Homo-oligomer: A and B are copies of this chain.
Amino acid sequence: MLDAKDALSGYRYLVLAEGMFGPQTSKTANSAVRYLPGRVLAVIDSRHAGESVGDVLGFGGTIPVLATVEEGLGRGATALLIGIAPQGGQLPGSWRPMLNAAIDAGLDVVSGLHFHLSDDAELRERAAARGVRIHDLRKPPAQLPVSTGRARLVDALVVHTVGTDCNIGKMTAALQIRDALAARGTRVGFAATGQTGILIEGWGISVDAVVADFVGGAAEQLVLRAAEGNDVVLVEGQGSLVHPGYSGVTLGLLHGSMPDAMILCHQPSRQCPWNAAHRYDWMRLPSVPEMIRICESAIAPLRESRVIGIALNTWDLTDEQARDEARRLEDATGLPATDPVRFDPSPLAGAIVAAAERKRAGRAGMGG
């Protein structure tokens, strides 16, 4: 798997989000702002030049948004991060001059595109000539196994964030819960399954970039490693079991990671599956109770696993609407529901700690 903890943990970034910086359209950029505090020095999007990150996202404070890479130089950045993931993952032609400018200025480059920058002869040679490194976060390991089901045997409680849709907050929920668990003293590992999670954690596998037969095997490897020395493993989810484009990745990840329990992520305002190019408006997303049934049924032939909490993404609601939605879903499902960014992840962390205790007690009981 990709393991670049040393390099990735030290970078200070210029973040390229040209033409796409916004609350819903620049996931990697936004997560860097949220989870790498102090290490994002500027964001590049000429549409918002002169505004601050806080103006555009609602968080991130006074970090400036700039029109060009050149304006970002001389601020102490050590790497350029590609902060958006266009559908299909290719490199827009208009970005090449920006990448060249960064490389020529001596910045390393960190990319989560499906297209591997290090496979591009021009960029590779330019980087080599300037002595800078290119990190392709989405480049899969050369050899992966087919999954065997071994992930079900780890001692740690394995919790997987699933969702009613893609791009809905599964990584964010896992990271917020991780921080809440760590604050309680729980030893918690984070299994990053996408480019943004890898950027933050420093290691992982972007499972959507793996050859399809090996998605489950990749998930299994991640769980086995994240379980080492930990009481809880949080496996970042991808896509959704009902997403017409990405459902295969989601099921492979679910069956490979073999979670003891799931947290369902949901955005109350979302009606149709999301996609960068169009909205799949010929179908409707299932309700939360229906989606709980779908997730639990999908893993039932392999093992029993329950949804034990609901993480809401309420960025486009008022505080009052968000609280109402959480209450309504708690009533409808009997599970704790909260927006772990806007409010407090504690109800979800609490459900996980309780499940971990049940698993430990069950194992002790089996041994006795």
Contact = CB atoms under 8 A, between A and B. Distances in A.
A246 B146 contact: yes
A249 to B, nearest CB: 5
A105 interface: no
A241 interface: yes
Interface in A196-247: 207-213, 215-217, 241-247
A147 interface: yes
A212 B208 CA distance: 5
A87 interface: yes
Contact of A247 (B210, B243, B255): B255
Interface residues of A, number: 49
Contact of A248 (B253, B275, B294, B297): B253
Nearest to A280: B149
Secondary structure of the A contact surface, majority rule? loop
A169 interface: no
A138 to B, nearest CB: 10
A334 interface: no
Quick one: which of A213, A247, A278 has the most chain B CB within 10 A? A213
Interface string A135-163: 00000000001111100100000000000
A2 B277 CA distance: 26
A215 B212 contact: yes
A145 B244 contact: no
Contacts of A91: none
Contact of A244 (B216, B248, B277, B282): B216
A87 to B, nearest CB: 6
A17 B251 CA distance: 33
A54 interface: no
A58 interface: no
A182 to B, nearest CB: 30
Interface centre among A241, A285, A302 (most CB of B within 10 A): A302
Interface in A246-261: 246-253, 255-256
B245 A147 contact: yes
Contacts of A145: 88
A76 interface: no
A257 to B, nearest CB: 11
Interface string A76-119: 00000000000111000000000000000000000000100000
8 contacts: A146-B245, A148-B244, A241-B251, A241-B298, A242-B301, A244-B302, A248-B248, A294-B301
The 3 closest A-B pairs by CB, nearest first: A248-B252, A146-B245, A242-B301
Given A89-B213, A148-B278, A207-B212, 4 more contacts: A88-B145, A211-B212, A294-B297, A298-B298
